[in-house]
Chain A
Amino acid sequence: MTETSVHTPSSKWRDVWRQFKSHKGALIGGVIFVGILLFVFVGQYVWPWEANQMNIRARNQGPSWAHPFGTDQLGRDTMARIIQGGQTSITVGLTAMVLALFLGTLVGVLAGYFKRLDGLLMRLTDLFLSLPILPLLLVMMLLFRETLSQLYGPETGIFILIVVAIGITSWMPTARIVRGDVLALKEREFILAARSIGTTNFQIILRHILPNVLSPIMVSATLGIANAIITESALSFLGLGFPPDFPTWGRLLNDAVDYLQQYPERVFWPGMAISLTVLSINYIGDGLRDALDPRIRGR
């Protein structure tokens, strides 16, 4: 116990933040991730070029002051495309993570809290864990892209498809972790106390269970974003993601591979963007795990 913690009553989240700050990798990762977010979401308004603005006279240019990352085979500014692509990639990552987290938490809480549902839901989780994820994602993308494109337009349709496909194939780890924590929490006295004063199951879950399983959910959230970004890029890389004129980082990498022999430097920026984002998120997750672990925190 340090001097300060005796005088100022420290909340749990302040302790968590203090521990998080002491993890250098996590802090640097956080700064880089915020930087990437700013670059991608604010950069659009600062950067003069449009992502789909063609200029056939200025095609295949190397780096210059006007185009720091060069231009592609249609004279489109690569930096503008990286910015636009990043918006899509990160939005897909965040949305898919939220969906996966919602499904995982729902299944985990239900399985942990209601004994009758436990066996069934955990069998379901095991079943989903034994599915070959990448082949199935490819199959889903191929089969439903036409239908959804017609229903919601090519961009929104594919967006919904990718987010749903990634979401429903990556909720299982969260469900397992949450279930384990709920099982342990359920037997604690404060739950018994809540029940004895007539709190309904729904209220107990909402007020007492969920706030206490927040830590593992937050750690799965960071890993979920990283996983979703990589999966989306992989699908786009294999040519089964977003349509060609709609840049994402994976798509840009795929386009650059076609010109690998002539302009090998072109693969660098999209690939670097994916790797740096995922790396920074993984470091944040690492720091968050340490910060939220009560055995490590406060040491």
Chain B
Amino acid sequence: MLTYPLRRLAISIPTLLFISLAIFFLLNLAPNDPMAQVPLTVPPEVKEKMREALGYGQPLLVQYWKWLVQFFWIEPQVWIDATFGTSLSEGKQRIISWQTRSPVMDIVAQRLPQTLWVVGMSYVVGILIALPIGIYSAYRQYSVFDQVGTFVAMVGYSVPPFFSGVFAIVIFSISLGWFPSIYDTTHQVVDWDSFVFQLRQMIMPVMVLALQTTAQLSRFMRSSMLDNLNQDYVRTARAKGASEWSVVMIHVLRNSMIPVVTVIALGIPSIFGGAIITEQVFKVNGIGQQLIGALYANDLPTVQTLTFMFAFLIVMFNLIADILYGLLDPRIRYD
């Protein structure tokens, strides 16, 4: 039972290493100068020394190795220090952003909560809307509700977030003036009024992201329910006199949830990708916007670290989805 997860974990390590190497070489193919933003009055010798101080003059493989060590060895130590008050990482070189000259992970730590709040909330909202719609559409297949649901899902799937987001801003913040169009990340929730304000500014980004999740997930839930509704065990459950509610919500739903749960796990990394655009639309100060800002400023260490973090999320959630599938469905055994 345990060998399969372990083997998958063992495969995912070289995958991640290869991806990080690919990102690293892709970034270093292009001519980039960390000193591009430094004023012209600084003499060239000084600039050369500053470059060396950032580790720029060394061979690529050495630079890559240093990045690996910094990301996988030193940054976790910093994290442990911050949590338990130890001093493991003292005096060790961390990944430094060329843009701000401060450690990349500090900025990530500042910005991650915003992204997690918006993305996480939208995913939860999307799931909560999608599952009942999917269940009811399948139960009343080809009804008006099902037809409308199919159409709305198709629209939600086809309209890109950079249009639905902008469209929502035009309607709800410019025409109606209900919600603010820019997300204020400095806002602190202290009392009821500030909580209401936080809620109002979160509604639009969350709903725009949730629309995408809902569209995909409700279709998937529907087809998964349909697969199960015609099975023999459903007829057996009805024949033995189980109530309709318990047939659908207990017998069918539990079996239908198996593939849906894995799809939910698989979708988590892609929602972070979608958040890049949504954050740009609503000016949410999250890691997606950090990536865009770093790209424009040629800040390679930040781009490298963030891109790799996205890759890490994808590989990890693929692994989780695979293992979940085996755990939930007793018919599937990995040997």
**What is A's interface to B at a CB cutoff of 8 Å?**
25, 126-127, 130-136, 138-140, 142-144, 147, 226, 230, 233-234, 237-238, 240, 250, 253, 256-257, 260-261, 264-265, 267-268, 271, 274-275, 278-279, 282-283, 286
Contact B276 A135 (CB under 8 A): yes
Which of A147, A265, A275 contacts B158, CB < 8 Å? A275
Secondary structure call for the A interface: helix
A294 vs B277: C-alpha distance in the bound complex, in angstroms? 39
Chain B contacts for A226, CB-based, 8 A = 158
A267 touches B19 (CB 8 A): no
Tell me which residues across on chain A come within 8 A of B22, comparing CB atoms. Answer: 131
Q: Is the CB of B166 within 8 A of A143?
A: no
A-B CB proximity, top 3 nearest: A132-B310, A271-B163, A143-B30
Q: Can you list 9 A-B contacts with CB-CB less than 8 angstroms, sorted by A residue number? A: A130-B311, A131-B19, A132-B313, A135-B310, A136-B307, A139-B295, A143-B26, A238-B280, A265-B170
Mark B residues whose CB is within 8 Å of A: 15, 18-19, 22-23, 26-27, 29-30, 154-155, 157-160, 162-163, 166-167, 169-170, 174-175, 181, 269, 273, 276-277, 280-281, 291-292, 295-296, 298, 303, 306-307, 310-311, 313-315, 318
Find out whether the CB atom of A144 lies under 8 angstroms from the CB atom of B30: yes
**B residues less than 8 Å from A250 (CB atoms):** 162
Q: How far is the CA of A132 from the CA of B15 in the complex (A)?
A: 13
Tell me the minimal C-beta distance from B323 to chain A in angstroms: 16
Residue of B19, B154, B310, B315 near A279 (CB, 8 A) is B154
Given contacts A237-B277, A260-B170, A279-B155, A267 and B295 within 8 Å (CB-CB):
no
CA distance A226 to B154 in the complex (A): 12
Structural contact, A264 and B277, CB atoms closer than 8 A: no
Which residues in B have their C-beta under 8 angstroms from that of A268? Answer: 167, 170
Given A127-B15, A139-B303, A142-B295, also A274-B163 (CB < 8 A): yes
* Complex Cα spacing A271 to B29, Å: 35
Judge whether B311 and A132 touch: CB under 8 Å: yes
Cα distance, A99 to B158, chains bound together (Å): 22
Given contacts A135-B303, A139-B26, 19 further A-B pairs with CB under 8 A are A127-B18, A127-B19, A130-B15, A130-B314, A131-B22, A134-B273, A134-B277, A142-B30, A142-B296, A142-B298, A250-B162, A257-B166, A264-B170, A267-B167, A268-B170, A271-B166, A275-B155, A278-B158, A278-B160
B216 to chain A, nearest CB (A): 12
Contacts of A271 in B (CB 8 A): 163, 166-167
B273's nearest neighbour on chain A, judged by CB, is: A134
Q: Is the CB of B311 within 8 A of A234?
A: no
Q: Which A residues are in CB contact (< 8 Å) with B15? A: 126-127, 130
Rounded to whole angstroms, the CA-CA distance of A250 and B170 in the bound complex is 17
The reply to whether A234 and B167 contact each other, CB–CB distance below 8 Å, is no
- For B160, give its contact among A25, A126, A133, A275 (CB under 8 Å): A275
**A132:B314 contact, CB within 8 angstroms:** yes
| Most interface-central of B160, B277, B303, B306 (chain A CB within 10 A) | B160
Nearest CB of A to B70, in Å:
20
Please state if B292 and A138 are interface contacts (CB–CB under 8 Å). Answer: yes
Is the pair B29, A143 in contact by a Cβ cutoff of 8 Å? yes
Complex contacts, A144 vs chain B, CB 8 Å: 30
Q: Which residues of B contact A240 (CB under 8 A)?
A: 295
Task: Name, among A140, A147, A238, the residue most crowded by chain B CB atoms within 10 Å (CB to CB).
Answer: A238
B292 touches A260 (CB 8 A): no
Partner among A139, A253, A278, A279 whose Cβ is within 8 Å of the Cβ of B307: A139
**Which A residues are CB-close (under 8 A) to B296?**
142
Chain B: minimal CB distance from A22 (Å): 14
Report B212 CB to chain A, min CB distance, Å: 11
A164 CB to closest chain B CB, in angstroms? 13
Residues in A whose Cβ lies below 8 Å from that of B307: 132, 135-136, 139
Choose among A132, A234, A278 the residue that contacts B269 (Cβ–Cβ < 8 A).
A132
The verdict on A134 contacting B276 (CB below 8 Å), with A127-B15, A278-B158 known, is: yes
User: Which residue of chain B has its CB nearest to the CB of A282?
Assistant: B158
B159 partner residues in chain A, CB cutoff 8 A: 275, 278-279
Q: Are B19 and A130 in contact (CB under 8 A)?
A: yes
**Chain A residues whose CB sits within 8 angstroms of the CB of B291 once the complex forms:** 135, 138
Known: A139-B307, A267-B163, A279-B158. A238 touches B292 (CB 8 A): yes
Q: Complex formed: what's the CA distance from A207 to B310 in Å? A: 42
Q: What residues on B are CB-neighbors of A265 within 8 Å?
A: 170
Question: Across the two chains, which residue of chain A brings its CB closest to B29?
Answer: A143
Known: A127-B15, A143-B27, A264-B175. A135 touches B167 (CB 8 A): no
* Residue from the list B158, B170, B175, B315 in contact with A267, Cβ < 8 A: B170
Instruction: Find chain A residues with CB under 8 A from B174 CB.
Output: 260-261, 264
B contact residues around A134 at 8 Å (CB): 273, 276-277
Contact yes or no, A140 B311, CB < 8 A: no
Q: Pick the contact of B277 from A130, A136, A238, A260 — CB < 8 Å?
A: A238
In the bound complex, what is the Cα–Cα distance between A282 and B159 (angstroms)?
Answer: 11
Determine the chain A residues whose CB is within 8 A of the CB of B154 once the complex forms: 25, 279, 282-283, 286
Q: Are A131 and B311 in contact (CB under 8 A)?
A: yes
Distance of A189 from chain B, by nearest CB (Å): 31
